Every structure is written in C-alpha cells, then in structure tokens.
Amino acid sequence: MTRKTKIFAVSAVAGTLLLALLGGTAAAQGGIPWRGYGGWGRDMMSGTWNGGMRGGGMMYPGWDSTAPGGARLTMDDAEAIAAQYLANYGNDDLQIAEIMQFSQNFYVEVHEASTGAGAMELLIDPYTGAVHPEPGPNMMWNTRYGHMNGMGMMGGRYLGSSGAMRISNEQAVGLAQKWLDEHMPGVMAGDEAEAFYGYYTIHTMTDGAISGMLSVNGYTGQVWYHGWHGDFIDMTSGDEAV
C-alpha cells in the first residue's frame, strides 16, 4: 500500500467514524426531521437544533449574566437583559420588537427602528440570563446580521441569497403550512410572516394558540422548524416590550 493510499484509507475511516458519531447523536436527541425543500436531513444539518444552551453558553457583547438562587427569570428580567444586550451591541438602530417566554428559553425579536425590518433573533437562558444568538436561520440564513452572512455550513452561498427575497410573505405562509401538514398534522401556520434579511419567521398555532415557530428561507423556500423552545408560556410585543 502506497503512502497516498494509506492516507486516503485513514481519512475514509475517520470520515465514517465522524458520520457514525453524528448519526448516533442525532438518534439520541430525536426531534422533528427538517426535510425542508432541498433540505439537509436531521439535527446538526437540520431544523432540529438541539444543542444545550444552559450552562456555559456563548456570551455576547458585554453581558455578564447572574441568577442568584437558581430562580427562573421573569419576563421583566428578560426585557431588561435584552435591552442591556442591545445597548452593549452598539447599534442604536436596533430595538426590541417582541419577547416570547417558552419553557426552555426566552425568545427576543429585534428590529431596525429606521426600516422596521427584522434584524436578528436572540435567546435568553431562563435561569442564568445568558444571551445567545438564536441558532438555525438567524445564524445561517440572515444575510445582514447572521454569523454566516448568507453562507451555508459548508461555505457555499445560497443560490440567489442577495437582493430582494423572491418569496413573498403570503408564499412563505403557504410553504410553512405545506411543511406542517406533512410533518406536524393539525398544527397551523400563523397569518403573518415576519421578514428578516434572507428569511421569514412564522408562529405555529395549535388549537388556536401559539405553540412554536418556524422559518422559511426567502430565496429557496426551505423550511426550518425551531425545535429548541419547548412549551409556549407568554409574550410581549410592540409597546409592551422595552
């Protein structure tokens, strides 16, 4: 066996072990398969991002979170934390548009004051107060504020991910409902699709009440369900938020 052949064989074995590990992790985590329009599959490459957020999470601009006694934070606490995060972020054009309380986290929707456009989505740990950019579309599809700036996990820019989104609000709701009918029968897409840079986020409804949310890529129509929130508890929006 030549040296090149040995290297290739070792690389192939390593790749197989990595895929097996990822597959085992995905199977252990479970969750709803993404299988969006042209999607990747499950968990790490999908809309069922199940990464642990509690304890030792990423800390972003200048927020030193504490939660004495391990008590669960209130909605007022979350609003104050989100406001401090944006103050430290250093962009005066960003403002809180909506805060939703779930069993696993607080969700914060941030808009641009000057345009009214959705800018970014944040998660707050309900016990530690740690602030995280929301995973999934917020990081992968957001062409202005996302960590990937429109790039895929493998570094390839999404086809057509520049300029105005091709998919309208109404089309996004339709694509969301089609995905829900196939994967979560009985769950309905909300009437409004909140536009961010590169994608839309839409509430999901069960028996007429908010039960979660998903996102639709504004260029490809791919659907990504937010599988990391848990049960919906409460929300503030508009003038009710800080």
- The residue-averaged pLDDT of 92-116 equals 97
Burial (CB count <10 Å: 0-12, 13-18, 19+), residue 57: middle
pLDDT band at 51 (very low <50, low <70, confident <90, very high): very low
Name the residue ranges covered by the structural domains of the chain: 31-234+236-240
**What residue spans of the chain are helical by DSSP H?**
3-29, 75-89, 137-140, 169-183
Residue 195 is predicted with a pLDDT of 97
The total of other beta-carbon atoms located within 10 Å of residue 165's CB is 21
Tokens encoding 39: 């999607």
Give residue-wise pLDDT tens across range 176-216: 999 999 999 999 999 999 999 999 999 999 999 999 999 99
Residue 66 is predicted with a pLDDT of 47
81 in Cβ contact with 61 (< 8 Å): no
Which range, of 13-27, 87-101, 129-143, 190-204, averages the lowest pLDDT?
Answer: 13-27
To the question of pTM greater than 0.85 for the whole model, the response is no
